[in-house]
Structure 1
Amino acid sequence: MHSPKQITDTILMIRPVQFRMNEQTAVNNYFQEDLNVRNSEINQRAQEEFDAFVDVLRAAGVRVIVVSDRLETDTPDSIFPNNWISFHRNGTVVVYPMYAENRRRERREDILDILEGEGFKIDQVIDYTSAEEEGLALEGTGSICMDRVNQKAYCALSDRADEDLFIEFCEEFDVAPVIFTANQSVDGKRLPIYHTNVMMCLAEEFAVICLDTIDDRKERKQVRDHLRSDGREIITISEAQMHAFAGNMLQVLGRDNERLLVMSRAAHDSLDPEQIAAIEKTSRIVSSPLDTIETCGGGSARCMMAEVFLPQA
């Protein structure tokens, strides 16, 4: 059996063809905003941001497999593939149930053929999508933050992260569940954050996390204790920084096994010198402007990257 590794040098990204603000996800993704610009213009801007981002990643030595979205499916959020699929070291692919109906159309089998064509080995597919019939969702590595080395998985419960489904996933992968609720302030109310990966990022040596979103003191202590006991430095961000997508980062491997922490320009700009110094002890920050994608999509750099941990055939 392979020894587990937390990060990979290969990611799958989907280039958008119909990107816009998704009216079906806006109901509980409070990061989305209407830009008041024609959809064709929004899509063009998103494509430019996407292409520039891919260039930045490839320049740093990350292997990026780009697949174009399909016009006929009309999938405005296809740029965020990490929500419907994940690829694991034991050759397993997991396909997840989605909250919004139009996001279910993002799932496509040809992605598996493309990855096999790139030399990866797929042994089995675990499909949780039948849960949609009961109105349940578990949106991939949006909902689940994996600590692969310490065999744990973190999940902030919401309409897009069902507790029973998450526990089923943890049993399948033999990882310990760390379950909590994370909230944000919306019009004076505390409402669940739609995805775990906007409020926390697990890197090898550290975790970037907005602990202020975990309102329950016991839960907050439990999350902090797990991170500390695994030897991670905790880099806390504020809710304002989280809204600039400073929690939506991903550590990847670049050229010569260099550790990179990938984020948007807005996230990078929101960090203070101490936070940057803490990150730069072990990782080089790589960022790219994703303003249109963040504003209309309500997701950022992390959401755009589906990590490929599959073994090479």
Structure 2
Amino acid sequence: MSQVTDTVLMVRPASFRKNEETAVNNYFQEDLALENEAINAQAQQEFDAFVTKLKAAGIHVLVLQDEKELNTPDSIFPNNWVSTHKNGDVALYPMYAENRRRERREEFFTLLEDAGFAIKNVIDYTEAEEEELFLEGTGSIILDRVNEKAYCALSARADEDLFIEFCEDFEYLPVLFTANQTVGNERLPIYHTNVMMCIAEEFAVVCLQSIDDKKERKQVINQLKESGKEVIAITEAQMHEFAGNMLQVKNAAGKRFLVMSASAHQALDATQIASITKYCEILSSDLTTIETCGGGSARCMLAEIFLPKL
């Protein structure tokens, strides 16, 4: 079992913009004084430059082109609706925003099979949408695949019962907590766990300040340390620069990288960078438009492929 993959799938946007349906509880989204066409064009430029950087580092990138007719502003974040697993399982997840449900496409499976990956079983949780229950993939769930632990910050997009069901199906130990951010004068739930937490092979980057409950914070720290992870704490201000939204990958030669946005990279201090670069190289790319309008960053754009080869 490996925590990192050398293959990711990314979706090139066709109608990227600030998604009006997700903005209700994604407090990272902001307005840009641009027409939607211009926003999408900028997002495509950032996307293409990011793909080029990943490929130049020797990471396999499969690109699926979004279709304009689908009108899916958040299609650039595929990790929320699908996850793949070493045993050939693919999980499909129930999405909070109705316009995000259209992102689930057959072409995803075709692209993987054409690339030589074996899909043995599809585990579909999407019926939960009918009951208004949601669990948004590896946005909601942070997997420690080697130690078989799953971390989840509960929110409108991460239902406790669904998360427990996922953990039973995939045989993960559930680690549940609540993570908040300050919005105005209120502490409100962070929409996705993966903006405040990243688990790599030998370390974890986590915004401990967002876990208000001391017992829950201690439990998260203990579980990470018990799994042999160095805990690299980031501040809430750094989290808002997407310093928690990172993903460790490897290239074809096995070299490790921690992938993040340029804003996340710039937000880190020298000590945090030294802690990360003990273990792997940092690979960062400018994702300003995508972060501003989409409220998501580098990790959200990468659907990890762990499937066996045909």
TM range (shorter): over 0.9
Superposition RMSD on alpha carbons, in Å?
0.5
Q: 1:129 Cα deviation (Å)? A: 0.4
The aligned residue for residue 150 of structure 1 is: 147
Selected match of 1:36 from 33, 38, 45:
33
Percent identity, aligned pairs only, is 67
**Mean Cα deviation higher: 108-117 or 297-306:** 108-117
Distance (whole Å) between structure 2 residues aligned to residue 20 and residue 174 of structure 1:
37
The aligned residue for residue 140 of structure 1 is: 137
Selected match of 1:190 from 181, 187, 190:
187
Selected match of 2:284 from 279, 284, 287:
287
> Any residues of structure 2 matched to 1:222-301 within 5 Å, and which?
222-301=219-298
**Is the contact between residue 16 and residue 43 of structure 2 (CA under 8 Å) also seen in structure 1?**
yes
SS in structure 1 of the partner of residue 103 of structure 2: coil
Selected match of 1:111 from 108, 111, 116:
108
Q: Deviations over 1:187-216 (max 9, x none)?
A: 010000000000000000000000000000
The aligned residue for residue 118 of structure 2 is: 121
User: Is 1:76 the equivalent of 2:73?
Assistant: yes
> Any residues of structure 2 matched to 1:295-310 within 5 Å, and which?
295-310=292-307
SS in structure 2 of the partner of residue 292 of structure 1: helix
**Is the contact between residue 235 and residue 275 of structure 1 (CA under 8 Å) also seen in structure 2?**
yes
Q: Deviations over 1:3-25 (max 9, x none)?
A: x1101000000000100000000
Runs of 4+, deviation exceeding 2 Å: none
**Equivalent AA in structure 1 for residue 99 of structure 2:** N
SS in structure 2 of the partner of residue 256 of structure 1: coil
Distance (whole Å) between structure 1 residues aligned to residue 286 and residue 108 of structure 2:
27
User: Is 1:14 the equivalent of 2:11?
Assistant: yes
Distance (whole Å) between structure 1 residues aligned to residue 249 and residue 259 of structure 2:
7
Distance (whole Å) between structure 2 residues aligned to residue 213 and residue 281 of structure 1:
26
Distance (whole Å) between structure 1 residues aligned to residue 219 and residue 103 of structure 2:
35
Q: Deviations over 1:159-202 (max 9, x none)?
A: 00000000000000111000000000000100000000000000
**Is the contact between residue 90 and residue 121 of structure 2 (CA under 8 Å) also seen in structure 1?**
yes
Distance (whole Å) between structure 2 residues aligned to residue 150 and residue 86 of structure 1:
18
Q: 1:255 Cα deviation (Å)? A: 4.1
Distance (whole Å) between structure 2 residues aligned to residue 255 and residue 108 of structure 1:
27
Distance (whole Å) between structure 2 residues aligned to residue 255 and residue 235 of structure 1:
27
**Equivalent AA in structure 2 for residue 301 of structure 1:** A
Distance (whole Å) between structure 2 residues aligned to residue 102 and residue 73 of structure 1:
9
Q: Deviations over 1:255-298 (max 9, x none)?
A: 42111000000000000000000000011000000000000000
Q: 1:219 Cα deviation (Å)? A: 0.2
Selected match of 2:215 from 218, 223, 233:
218
**Equivalent AA in structure 1 for residue 182 of structure 2:** S
Distance (whole Å) between structure 2 residues aligned to residue 174 and residue 269 of structure 1:
37
Distance (whole Å) between structure 2 residues aligned to residue 305 and residue 252 of structure 1:
10
Q: Deviations over 1:94-138 (max 9, x none)?
A: 000000000001111121011001000000100000000000100
Q: Which runs of 5+ in 1 are unaligned?
A: none
**Equivalent AA in structure 1 for residue 308 of structure 2:** P
Q: 1:300 Cα deviation (Å)? A: 0.1
The aligned residue for residue 62 of structure 2 is: 65
**Equivalent AA in structure 2 for residue 44 of structure 1:** A
The aligned residue for residue 203 of structure 1 is: 200
Distance (whole Å) between structure 2 residues aligned to residue 154 and residue 139 of structure 1:
13
**Is the contact between residue 60 and residue 255 of structure 1 (CA under 8 Å) also seen in structure 2?**
no
TM-score by length of 1: 0.99
Number of aligned positions between the proteins: 310
